[in-house]
Structure 1
Amino acid sequence: MKRAALWTAIACLGVAGYAARAQELRQGEVRAYLSAIDGSRQAYGVYFPRANPPGDRGYPLVMHAHGYGWWVGADFSEWQRQWADDHGWVLVNVNGRGPNFYDGIGEDDVLRVLEDVAKVVAVDRSRVYMTGGSMGGTGAYRVGVRRPDIFPGVAPVDGWTDFREFHWHWYARKDMPDAIEEFRRPLLEAASPLYTAGTARWGDVTLIVDGRDDIVLPEQGIRLDEALNSARDREQEAYRHELVYHVDRGHGAGYDLPRIYERFLSISSPKRPPSVTVEATLLRYGKVHWAAIDRFDLQGAVGRLDAHVAESAVHAFAHNVTAFTLTLPDTSLASLPEVQVLVDGALCHAGPPTEVSLELREGPAGAAWQVVRGEAPPLRKRRGLEGPIGEAFLAPFVVAWGTVGSAASVRQGQVEAEDFAAEWNAFNVHYEAVRAVPEDKLSPDDHRTRNLILFGTLDSSAVLRRIAAACELPVRVLDDGVLVRDPANGDRLYRGAKYGAYWVYPNPLSGFRTLVVGCRGRFAVKPDGSLRRGLGYDLERLQWAWGDYVVFNTDLDDLPYVENVNNKPPVITYEAAYFVEAGFHDQDWQPERAVELNRVRARRPEGSRLIRIETLEVAPATSERPAGVEA
């Protein structure tokens, strides 16, 4: 009751009273919030300054992201505490769920920590910053490029910007080090700030690169700097950034907090930016400021949306985007009685400045942009419901196993479910928070509101049978095989208990508002097959290792063990060597065979350039030139 009364009193305080209340709190303390995703308590360190906020918006806040591993602490240096007191800054040490590179649930941790601090003191949302080295630098790059509306200033030190290179450096198969499965390419690019640098239009990125770094190669920061330079050449007022290059320093040696803090002093985000650029390969990262991508033309390729305010109109231009939303009340036109929206130069909307959604639709005169009213079809990929498998673990979830069928099949599902829960806890929680339950113990609320991670088959799970009866699942897993439905190319049946599969699909039992992940089987992670692991193997890769589905062969006589290049045992297995099929569903969650289990090069050959061709046109032969040669 005393604690509840304290928080009630805090809620009633104005900004002027925050300094006084900060004296009541411990300085440099470890706090924790309750995660809605897995029910765990996640800790972070925070220092509240002994000063009033420097402005009426509240306190600026800087997050510090640690390097590889798990670390929680509030041991800010005396110099840091003095700076915070002198300038009225809140300092935060964020854990990011340990070695997740601040992606997936690691990124969620960063955002949840920010909101938790904002419950205690007023935070100036225009002055939130992040810095870190190595893995922490990767996290700072990610939030700075993906969410400049939340983190307008970042200062990464020796972080990764291209996860295709990261894959080559740590996870490639030893016998084919330059190969990446095509289904992983878009996921690795989605994990890479380099390929969506355009989103950082109103961010400020200080790229700190150490020239003798042999862990994160210097080209990681240099290539992102080049991408930001190219963007700034097109728009001089945007894409603020600075490359700080230390020629003779090794990994992490260039971390200079005084210089970083000084730069943060001059950075703040515009309240209503006059223009927005959104670049993304996943809808999850396709929303920033007042613009959002809702649908791609070609799934897996970068989509780009540019929108800018001019007089009483918003002009939008879309590339590889067929649907988007503009939140006009968040623009500088919010007070006007009427606002026009033009897409690719054509007037598409004129009316009050409300939220406007547009979609490219075919009509008698061809494709045209139209205002969309009403909800989208339930089976359509959208934020929070687009896959891949890893997305199911970014919202509240429950782990269960099937309870019908043969005793052996039920027991296998139970063991795999309990092992996954233990692996999740060991990697992401560090105590027992997630517990696997039999499916008959799932509550109605579990079915309605949680993503369901279900270990079993149509032979062993009553819940999976209900789901299969309610919709046409593209992947159907039985005790003795896996069926992949494909109306366009023909169904594929992998016969035998040696085949396993992981898949994700919207759950019809929740009205397609949540996801279900089906899991069956484990693969060998030692050459002799003595140890087998599954979806929980090396959860660091959860966001980029799996597509919407994967079918694998667990028989080492068919697909022998393959080692990867990782020098961090026990993660030495190249599990994709066991895959016989992997890919994505289309944007309406239907089977799509556009991506096959083949490989692309992680590095291009010297003197050549790799390009993605969407349309290949060949010129006809004439008397002046042979076929295929343009004039």
Structure 2
Amino acid sequence: MTIKRVLPVLILLLTTTAVLADGLGDNDPKSVRPVPRVGVEVPDEDRAALEAGLKQLRGQLDKLAASKTPAVRELLPDIEIYHRAVADALAYNEFFSPGDIKKGHDLLGIGQARATQLAAGKAPWTRQRGLVVRGYVSRIDRTVQPYGLVIPESYNFNSGRRHRLDIWFHGRGETLSEVNFVHQRARNAGAYTPRQTIVLHPYGRYSNAFKFAGEVDVLESWEDVKQKYQVDSRRTSVRGFSMGGAACWQFAVHYADRWFAANPGAGFSETPEFLKFFQKETLNPTWYEKKLWHWYDCTDWAINLYHCPTVAYSGELDIQKQAADIMEAALEAEGIDMVHVIGPETKHRIHPDSKIEIDRRLQNLGRRGRESYPLHVELATWTLKYNRMHWLTIEGLGEHWSRARVTADVVGRSRLELSTKNITGMKFSFSSGHSPFDILRQVTVVVDGQELAAPRPRSDRSWFCRLTKRKDGWRVGGRAGGHGAGLRKRHDLQGPIDDAFMDSFLFVRPTGKPLNEKTGEWVQSELKRAIVHWRKQFRGHARVKKDTEVTDEDIKGANLVLWGDPQSNKLLARVVDRLPLTWGEGQLHVTEKGFDASHHMPVMIYPNPLNNSRYVVLNSSFTYREYAYLNNARQVPMLPDWAIVDLTTPPGTQWPGKITAAGFFDEKWRVRR
């Protein structure tokens, strides 16, 4: 084993042995294999037994759900995961081998046993050490999602002692159904089981590199674990290999202040160079695709690793070594010397000697824990989706998907110095007892050379300050996000379309007659596809209501995905006059250019006029399609805030039709002219 610190990426690309895992056959959008593949035929005898077992377990769950004991109802997801895993595999033909069918029988037995125990007032799995499988209900679509745990033998359920937590991201698995994941997590502890450490294995909603709803699954399962176990929030790390290594890079740069360390192995760390090198793909992206690559291109966020100690790993002969090498180059450009552990003469696996070295380094970092209130902060972002680093939060950008950067330094006991780029609003928040400033002295803030008088710390040693930027410079106070009234892009309300599916959403089905027959047929086809592919790719069941059934509670609590047009969808008719488009039977306008409404349809995301804390989306689900399922690096946003689709070109594996116009709204949600 060696530790490589600096190696030019070009040399690596010339010397690495090429091994195509996904294959050149996956580079043709006109010939796309199904992901996941179709399962095997279930024999009649097995089907009957599985259906009987599901019926029995559903009856047990229904009785438990009627319990008046909150503790009983809170544990239902730990049982529901078994029912849903088998029910979906049976309903959607996702037993991929005869062995999977046997696993289905086994899982039903475990679920029934847990239900029997809970009915008797017992839940032994909640105090079980070793391998444990549990579940939670996701806010996104209200489906139960599973996760696995490794609880160390040293864990004391009667003690308040908090434990280190490692989050481990699994690799790509096109047959990783819920049945296979739950079965695996009850039998396989994984690559690393450090002493006195809880290991969380999130499902990530299948095989999407833990992006979008998969990203939220990690955050939700992590939160669930923190509620149920004694976890040390200062000693949580992210780790993964292959596709899991890609996820690790993403979580490290987007949430750098939450981890004491990151340990990515193999995988990919950005889209364009990886696809050209690994997949041998010729790329012809649109201008907005290039901008949206910034979302998950970790090289663009490298400086954030200033706050996250990183130990990268690659096999010396692994083609996916490219991921760490290109990150190493990006970090070198920021002045950071990346530790890169190399497994000698090793292809796509973790070398045993490297594991020892990696564990040693993470043990040292774990003892130290993450820093909570550093005096120096670095933050780069391209979107308000990821806008926080420790005590500093960016509240407004000059322009989304252009690089924003802030460097902040606490100087002495009464001075804060900042330099910024592409930022219009910031806030600083030190909680009680953590202000670095003298409570008897006014704080001076110097931002981009401009000196401002800021408030003193409070008596509890907390400190809060907001800065907003106007045409004539910075000022203390003001409106979050910048000067001016009306709508503004802000955290979790900044687009693009895919962002709507990282929180609670509801598909709203039209019940009226469409303005045009062709557009009506397209809407019904795309809605049907959206429901099917949400389950296939994000392993949930999209909630669907007719436009006549949507309640005030739905408007308050969910992003509304409105399918149809102002004539066919009653809810769309209520809001269309407050959306940035003009839509009639003959013409459709977003910009000054008009489009024939008989064969053009808009897709769009915008703050809901009925509830500005939520989105409305027009005629779209997540925007990448079947071609992207073949390689996780392709699973990136394909459309910006709005687009016009020409339906004379049929939907395909990349687009819902021909995209004739598309763009981003500005920071006030206005159409760019």
TM range (shorter): 0.7 to 0.9
Q: CA deviation at 1:22?
A: 8.9
Aligned partners of 2:635 and 2:581: how far apart in 1?
A: 20
Partner of 2:420: 318
- Offset from partner CA, 1:458-481 (integer Å, 9 cap, x none): 232221121123x2x223455655
Residue 37 and residue 6 in structure 1: after superposition, are their counterparts in 2 closer, same or farther (change >3 A)? closer
Amino acid aligned to 1:340: T
The structure 2 residue matched to 1:446, chosen from 554, 558, 573, is 554
Q: Which runs of 5+ in 1 are unaligned?
A: 10-20, 234-238, 486-490, 523-532, 562-571, 594-631
Amino acid aligned to 1:325: K
Aligned partners of 1:162 and 1:254: how far apart in 2?
A: 24
Aligned-partner SS, 2:555? helix
1:402/1:461 contact within 8 Å kept: yes
The structure 2 residue matched to 1:358, chosen from 460, 463, 467, is 467
TM-score (norm 1): 0.76
Q: CA deviation at 1:154?
A: 1.1
Residue 31 and residue 22 in structure 1: after superposition, are their counterparts in 2 closer, same or farther (change >3 A)? closer
Q: CA deviation at 1:64?
A: 1.3
Partner of 2:662: 582
Q: CA deviation at 1:496?
A: 4.7
Q: CA deviation at 1:543?
A: 4.8
Aligned partners of 2:499 and 2:575: how far apart in 1?
A: 19
1:479-494 to structure 2, matched below 5 A, reads 482-485=588-591, 491-494=592-595
The structure 2 residue matched to 1:60, chosen from 164, 172, 177, is 164
Aligned-partner SS, 2:385? helix
Residue 443 and residue 185 in structure 1: after superposition, are their counterparts in 2 closer, same or farther (change >3 A)? same
Q: CA deviation at 1:375?
A: 8.4
Aligned partners of 1:149 and 1:88: how far apart in 2?
A: 23
Asked if 1:145 corresponds to 2:245, the answer is: no
Partner of 2:358: 260
The structure 2 residue matched to 1:425, chosen from 535, 540, 550, is 535
- Offset from partner CA, 1:373-418 (integer Å, 9 cap, x none): 5787441000111000001111111001222234956665445323
Aligned partners of 1:46 and 1:2: how far apart in 2?
A: 29
The structure 2 residue matched to 1:383, chosen from 491, 494, 506, is 491
1:164/1:189 contact within 8 Å kept: no
Partner of 2:86: none
Partner of 1:475: 581
Partner of 2:571: 463
Aligned-partner SS, 1:427? helix
1:424/1:536 contact within 8 Å kept: no
2:165/2:236 contact within 8 Å kept: yes
- Offset from partner CA, 1:49-99 (integer Å, 9 cap, x none): 222579976110111111113344425657979x55xx3110121111122
Residue 171 and residue 454 in structure 1: after superposition, are their counterparts in 2 closer, same or farther (change >3 A)? farther
Partner of 1:514: 614
Aligned-partner SS, 2:346? coil
Aligned-partner SS, 2:418? strand
Aligned-partner SS, 1:348? strand
Q: CA deviation at 1:332?
A: 4.3
Residue 8 and residue 544 in structure 1: after superposition, are their counterparts in 2 closer, same or farther (change >3 A)? closer
Q: CA deviation at 1:502?
A: 1.2
Aligned partners of 2:189 and 2:491: how far apart in 1?
A: 43
The structure 1 residue matched to 2:330, chosen from 224, 227, 243, is 227
Asked if 1:159 corresponds to 2:267, the answer is: yes
The structure 1 residue matched to 2:505, chosen from 369, 373, 397, is 397
Residue 374 and residue 320 in structure 1: after superposition, are their counterparts in 2 closer, same or farther (change >3 A)? closer
Amino acid aligned to 2:232: D
Aligned partners of 2:411 and 2:204: how far apart in 1?
A: 40
The structure 2 residue matched to 1:189, chosen from 270, 294, 302, is 294
Partner of 1:112: 220
Residue 303 and residue 53 in structure 1: after superposition, are their counterparts in 2 closer, same or farther (change >3 A)? farther
Q: CA deviation at 1:492?
A: 1.1
Q: CA deviation at 1:452?
A: 0.4
Q: CA deviation at 1:187?
A: 1.2
1:22/1:49 contact within 8 Å kept: no
- Offset from partner CA, 1:450-505 (integer Å, 9 cap, x none): 10011101232221121123x2x2234556553223xxxxx111215332331111
Aligned-partner SS, 2:228? coil
Query: Percent identical across equivalent pairs?
Result: 23
- Offset from partner CA, 1:150-176 (integer Å, 9 cap, x none): 12211111121222324546899x7xx
Q: Which runs of 5+ in 2 are unaligned?
A: 1-66, 76-123, 458-462
Aligned partners of 1:375 and 1:78: how far apart in 2?
A: 45
Aligned partners of 1:8 and 1:397: how far apart in 2?
A: 23
Q: CA deviation at 1:435?
A: 3.5
Aligned partners of 1:516 and 1:78: how far apart in 2?
A: 42
1:33-112 to structure 2, matched below 5 A, reads 33-52=136-155, 58-69=162-173, 70=176, 71-72=181-182, 73-75=184-186, 84=194, 87-112=195-220
1:140/1:155 contact within 8 Å kept: yes
1:496-535 to structure 2, matched below 5 A, reads 496-510=597-611, 512-519=612-619
Greater shift in the superposed pair: 390-399 or 325-334:
325-334
Aligned-partner SS, 2:619? strand
1:160/1:220 contact within 8 Å kept: yes
**RMSD, aligned α-carbons:** 3.3
Asked if 1:348 corresponds to 2:441, the answer is: no
Aligned-partner SS, 1:33? strand
Residue 178 and residue 420 in structure 1: after superposition, are their counterparts in 2 closer, same or farther (change >3 A)? closer
1:417/1:436 contact within 8 Å kept: no
- Offset from partner CA, 1:330-363 (integer Å, 9 cap, x none): 7542673543322123322321333322111123
Amino acid aligned to 2:141: D
Aligned-partner SS, 2:431? helix
1:144/1:152 contact within 8 Å kept: no
1:385/1:515 contact within 8 Å kept: yes
Residue 345 and residue 496 in structure 1: after superposition, are their counterparts in 2 closer, same or farther (change >3 A)? closer
Q: CA deviation at 1:112?
A: 1.1
1:457/1:478 contact within 8 Å kept: no
Q: CA deviation at 1:243?
A: 1.1
1:202/1:240 contact within 8 Å kept: no
Aligned partners of 2:151 and 2:468: how far apart in 1?
A: 46
Aligned partners of 2:662 and 2:274: how far apart in 1?
A: 21
1:183-222 to structure 2, matched below 5 A, reads 183-214=288-319, 216=320, 218-222=321-325
Aligned-partner SS, 2:310? strand
Residue 576 and residue 397 in structure 1: after superposition, are their counterparts in 2 closer, same or farther (change >3 A)? closer
Q: CA deviation at 1:542?
A: 6.5
Aligned partners of 1:356 and 1:454: how far apart in 2?
A: 39
1:403/1:410 contact within 8 Å kept: no
Asked if 1:285 corresponds to 2:285, the answer is: no
1:420/1:535 contact within 8 Å kept: no
Aligned partners of 2:530 and 2:68: how far apart in 1?
A: 39
Aligned partners of 2:429 and 2:349: how far apart in 1?
A: 40
Residue 446 and residue 226 in structure 1: after superposition, are their counterparts in 2 closer, same or farther (change >3 A)? same
Greater shift in the superposed pair: 46-55 or 98-107:
46-55
2:133/2:186 contact within 8 Å kept: no
Residue 343 and residue 328 in structure 1: after superposition, are their counterparts in 2 closer, same or farther (change >3 A)? farther
Asked if 1:30 corresponds to 2:140, the answer is: no
Q: CA deviation at 1:102?
A: 1.5
1:23/1:50 contact within 8 Å kept: no
1:401/1:413 contact within 8 Å kept: no
Aligned-partner SS, 2:216? helix
Aligned partners of 2:190 and 2:489: how far apart in 1?
A: 48
Partner of 2:91: none
2:646/2:659 contact within 8 Å kept: yes
TM-score (norm 2): 0.72
